[in-house]
Amino acid sequence: MDLLIANLAHGFGVAFSLKNLAFCLLGCLIGTAIGVLPGIGPVATISLLLPITFGQEATTAIIMLAGIYYGAQYGGSTTSILLNLPGEVSSVVTTLEGYKMARNGRAGAALAVAAIGSFFAGTVGTVLVAASGPILTEVALSFGPWEYFSLMLLGLIISAVLAQGSVLKAIAMVVLGVGLGLVGTDVQTGQQRFTFGIPELSDGIGFVSIAMGMFGIAEIILNLERPEAREALKTKVGTLWLTKEEWKRATPSVLRGTALGSVLGILPGGGAALASFGSYMMERRMSKYGHEFGTGAIEGVAGPESANNAAAQTSFIPLLTLGIPANAVMALMVGALIIQGIQPGPRMVESQPDLFWGLIASMWIGNVMLLIINLPLIGMWVKLLEVPYRYLYPSILIFCAIGVYSLQNNVFDVYQTAMFGIFGYMCAKLRLEPAPMLIGFVLGPMMEEHLRRAMLLARGDPMVFLQRPISGVLLGIAAIALIAMLLPNLRKKKDEALAG
Amino acid sequence: MRLNAKDLAGAVLLMLSKAQRTIRANAKDLAGAVLLMAVAIVGFWINLEDHAIGTARRMGPGYMPMLAFGLLAALAALTFILGLFNGPDPLERWTQAELLAVVGGLAVAIAVTWVLALQPGLISRNWYPLGLGMLAGCLVFSIPPRWRKLGLVTAGMVVFGLVLEIGGLFLAIALCIGVAAVADETQTVKGTLALILFQIVLCWFVFIKELDIRVNIWPQF
């Protein structure tokens, strides 16, 4: 406990430097802005800004990128409540009760409970990351290549199982990502694989190119094809505070949402979107006021908004302790760390204490900042929606182009990104999810390394994966997750939860 | 025993309509499966040709690709089989012009890239063949209105790559926005010009002044 406090104090020391504070604020501001704007999400934004972070110190860069992710959870709720327009996937369910509340004249209360619930959940999430980090790291240090391989396999399977739509296609996309990750120089033999004699491919396909193409460029085209439906703010916000009755009703929902979100955030493949859907379902069933759902029940805002923010924080746990990304945003964080020359994994706590504890402290500071920049400045954020998409998309395109070029000062990356844009568009039309592919792409090369080492040590006997207890249990969970999704009943529930 | 022709025809019709109801092909899944299968087959084949597989104990560079692309092929096949029944989820219908534009665009892109790459001299260097090929392909793509957004947004990106090193950053920004702006019908000339000016100032500040990336900002002669 004393050690934890000492570590946190060290973290706050790092996070309170002027530069880190400034970039934390910048990240939160950008996050809120893209959270408010539909059509651009945290994945696209972070891949857009990745090149900009190269010149910075690793700690500062990660602090800013993290701010974008959890900032987007705050911003997304604002437009959901006021305009029935979810800025992010994770705030789709907030429209259900939040917008109804706004129409009942309780917009201020809905916004307040969303922000306060998010802040509470964010605080709990941050403490969880700080407390579990060192413990999980201990465990992870005893892992051999078998455990790592099984854990990554579990992560990939769960991320596919929890993805939207068909599990089978999601697994296929994961495997496709693993396949794309194989392009480049084989680490052990130095042989060029699938490079077609192109020197630019010998370091592998650019991670940023894939992320920007599939999440940035493809999104632009899809958004342009959709007719733009934006309305001006008609509802009055009213007082930004809760009545006594509302406090009483919202508090248990915030607690439940925080607990559920924290758990779902840690799961590989989980994250903010799943947590908010799950919490909405839970509130509708568990709340005493379940019959009021659909007419503007405050529980339906308090629960999901707390859950998505808790999940946004705790999804850092697998990344920081095991080096395994739980979702597409975390996959981008792995990319950012590797570009900075830091291998994410259990050794990070010891080798990069500034980064680890500084990031945790900054997450809490960021949550305070978000509370301040969100509630009083809500009018300003809603104004942002008046910027038409026709001015937005060429700007996103330009930032993508310059950003990806500046990675290696090579136009090949620009063309490569354009190609992945077309591919991403095709995938969207065929309902092939890009997020599992990105996770597969990041984890693939690591899995290959562990698999080769494990099989060499085991003299070519694959049974060793089942004989090692931890590895066996992880594989067992993976198998159960897969089988569970084959049951039609459960699958229907998942589809319902994800479709809202 | 006499067969009643009327009953028989009725039974056949009933069976057919039942079959029609049960066999519901999911066109999106089928197309996706074909796409994934194509990647798997090409990957598997290249891997067999180029890389040593090794043994399970001492895996060569080809072992993991073999596993990955083999599994991908199996998953694609399974998606295809299940896709025959879990529909209907039809693809949007394409007109003849749209289909022609896709095939033509692809052919033009490959042909232009190929021909230019074989040219000696300046044009065959620095990925100009690829860029020009992609640009030509995108423009063919943009002929039917249906693909115009896809074609022009991508073309904007490609134009940026083509112009950047000879034309400088500012010209590249202007042309990229200019091309991409055509994709949206609500865009006005005045608005586009204002946006270009704004982006040039913003990008100069962010990328040149603050981040100091190494790129020409004015045209090179």
Do residues B79 and B102 share a domain? no
Same domain, B103 and B194: yes
pLDDT in the model for residue A492:
66
Q: Is B207 inside a domain boundary?
A: yes
DSSP A24-67: HHHHHHHHHHHHHSTT--HHHHHHHHGGGGGGS-HHHHHHHHHH
Residue B210 domain flag: yes
Nearest to A390 among B69, B150, B184 (CB): B184
Residue A181, judged by CB atoms within 10 A of its CB (0-12, 13-18, 19+), counts as buried
Parent domain of B149 = 95-221
Q: What separation in angstroms does the CA of A329 have from each of A42, A269, A272, B206?
A: 7, 11, 11, 24
Last residue of a domain, one of B38, B65, B88: B88
- Give the tens place of pLDDT for each residue, B169-187: 999 999 999 999 988 888 8
Quote the number of domains for chain B: 2
pLDDT of residue A8: 85
Q: Does residue A465 register a pLDDT over 70?
A: yes
In this prediction the ipTM stands at 0.86
Is residue B129 in some structural domain? yes
Residue B133's identity, in one-letter code, is G
| pLDDT per position as a tens digit, B89-133 | 777 777 888 888 888 889 999 998 888 888 877 676 778 889 999
Domain check: are B82 and B99 in the same one? no
Same domain, B80 and B121: no
Does residue B149 lie within any of the structural domains? yes
Instruction: Return d(Cα A398, Cα A216) in angstroms, integer.
Output: 11
Q: Which one of B37, B81, B140, B150 would you mutate to disrupt binding with A, by most A Cβ within 10 Å of its Cβ?
A: B150
Do B102 and B84 share a structural domain?
A: no
Q: Is B76 on the interface with A (CB under 8 A)?
A: yes
| 8 Å CB contact of A217 and B154 | yes
Nearest to A134 by CA among A366, A358, A356: A356
Instruction: Tell me how close the Cα of A164 comes to any Cα of chain B, in angstroms.
Output: 14
Cα A116 to Cα A246: distance, rounded to the nearest angstrom: 13
φ, ψ for residue A184, nearest 5 deg:
120, -165
Domain boundary among B42, B71, B88: B88
Residues of chain B with Cβ-Cβ distance to A395 below 8 Å are 195, 199, 202
In-domain check, residue B44: yes
Contact in structure between A38 and A87 (CB atoms under 8 Å): yes
Same domain, B30 and B117: no
Query: Which chain A positions have a beta carbon within 8 Å of B28's beta carbon?
Result: 429-431
Residues 6+ apart with CB under 8 A from B117: B124, B129, B130
pLDDT tens-digit readout, A133-155: 888 888 888 888 888 888 888 88
pLDDT at A51: 78
Residue A250: pLDDT above 70? yes
pTM: 0.85
Q: Does A457 touch chain B (CB under 8 A)?
A: no
What are the tens digits of pLDDT across the range A260-319?
Answer: 999 888 876 667 778 888 888 888 888 787 778 878 888 889 999 999 889 988 888 888
* Chain A CB within 8 Å of residue B58 CB: yes
Name the band, by pLDDT with cuts 50, 70 and 90, for residue B8.
Answer: low
**Contact yes or no for B57 and A460 at CB 8 A:** yes
User: Shortest CA distance to A194 belongs to which of A178, A218, A210?
Assistant: A178
Query: Domain boundary residue among B36, B68, B88?
Result: B88
Residues of chain A above pLDDT 90, percent: 18
Chain A interface includes B131 (CB < 8 A):
yes
Dihedral pair phi/psi, residue A104, rounded to 5°: -80, 5
Q: Is residue B108 located within the same domain as residue B210?
A: yes
Q: Is the pLDDT of residue A258 over 90?
A: yes
What pLDDT is recorded for position A256? 93
To test the contact with chain B by mutation, choose from A212, A411, A437, A463 the residue with the greatest count of B C-beta atoms within 10 A, namely A411
User: Per the domain annotation, does B6 fall within a domain?
Assistant: no
- Residues B159 and B187 both lie in one domain: yes
Q: Assess A139–B contact: CB distance below 8 Å, yes or no.
A: no
B65 found inside a domain: yes
Q: Is the pLDDT of residue A496 over 70?
A: no
Q: Do residues B158 and B74 share a domain?
A: no
Q: What is the mean pLDDT of chain B?
A: 84
- Answer yes or no: do B102 and B61 share one domain: no
Out of A193-197, B68-72, B147-151, least confident range: A193-197
**B174–A contact, CB cutoff 8 A:** no
Alpha-carbon gap, residue A323 to A333, rounded angstroms: 10
| B159–chain A nearest CA distance, Å | 10
Report the candidate in A240, A226, A211 with the shortest Cα–Cα distance to residue A440: A211
Residue type, B3: L
- Chain centroid to Cα A38, Å, comes to 16
Claim to verify: residue B101 and residue B145 sit in the same structural domain:
yes
Q: Which residue has the higher pLDDT, B194 or A40?
A: B194
Cβ contact B183:B148 at 8 Å: yes
Q: State yes or no: pLDDT of A396 exceeds 50.
A: yes
Write out the two tokens for B93.
Answer: 């219908």
In a shared domain, residues B32 and B138: no
Residue among A362, A197, A162, A379 at smallest CA distance from A272: A162
Structure confidence by residue, pLDDT tens digits, A328-366: 888 888 888 888 888 888 888 888 888 888 998 998 899
Whether B208 has a pLDDT exceeding 80, the answer reads yes
Helices (H), chain B: 5-22, 27-50, 63-83, 96-118, 128-141, 148-181, 189-203
Residue B3 lies in a domain: no
